[in-house]
Amino acid sequence: MNRRYVGGALVTAVSMLLASSVLLAIAGQGEVSARETGSARAAESVVDTSGNMHVPVNYRREYEYLGSWAVAADQGQGSKDIHVVYASPGAVEAYQAAGHFPEGTVLVKEVFQAATAPMTTGTVSHADLLKGWFVMVRDTTGRHAGNKLWGEGWGWSWFDAGNPTRTTSTDYKANCRGCHVPAQNTEWVYVNGYPPLRSEGAR
């Protein structure tokens, strides 16, 4: 047996294994960096230097669908509101990988007045008139600490339908946070209603 050859082959195999590990690590870091960069771009596209937000343009085409909520009617059958929620590109993959929303993630919730009517499948409610949008932007660094629409790791703003560039919110603590208190332990977001955030087997 040629011990020199065997030893050389072993060293070569170990070197290749180490090189592969390094490349995989670099690739993983690259994916994380790409997701973070994408989230940062999303935030920059909807927030000005003073921390004022607007509804992102083309979010229905460019963002990822998270899920919908039906708010039951106060009386009678059906729903009174339908909420449809979208997340900025890369947010779902990043959440699945790390269990939290990356810096700069933008969430957009459309709020529709619902219409309810009998159909072949039964009494059905569907989205009808758009009432407005609720926008959240992930910020754990306190970039806009002096702006009352930022805090608890997010920027918060409501926009009436027809005016996606001017919020009616003045203070997130008074206008927004109250509805999210039960979701405080999941970064103030009701993640249980969004199947794309779950692991593959739990969807």
CATH number at residue 88: 3.50.70.20
Give yes or no for residue 68 having a pLDDT over 80: yes
Mean local confidence (pLDDT), 138-156: 96
pLDDT value, residue 19: 46
Task: Give 101: exposed, middle or buried? Use CB within 10 Å, 0-12, 13-18, 19+.
Answer: buried
Q: Is residue 1 part of a domain?
A: no
Residue 154 is predicted with a pLDDT of 98
Give the residue-averaged pLDDT of 31-57. 80
- Strand, helix or coil for residue 37: helix
- pLDDT (0 to 100) of residue 202: 59
Considering the domain boundaries, does residue 2 fall inside one?
A: no
The predicted structure's pLDDT at residue 25? 46
CB proximity list for 162: less than 8 A, separation 6 or greater: none
Give the model's pLDDT for residue 192: 96
Domain interval for residue 158:
30-202
Mean pLDDT calculated for residue range 191-197: 97
Residue 105 domain flag: yes
Count of domains in the chain?
1
So what's the pLDDT on residue 199? 79
For 178, which DSSP code?
A: G
Instruction: Tell me the pTM.
Output: 0.81
Kindly indicate the confidence band of residue 118, based on its pLDDT and cuts at 50, 70 and 90. very high
Number of other CB atoms surrounding residue 114 within 10 Å: 20
Domain-located, residue 22: no
Q: Is residue 3 part of a domain?
A: no
Mean pLDDT score across all residues of the chain: 87
Q: pLDDT tier at 75 (50, 70, 90 boundaries)?
A: very high
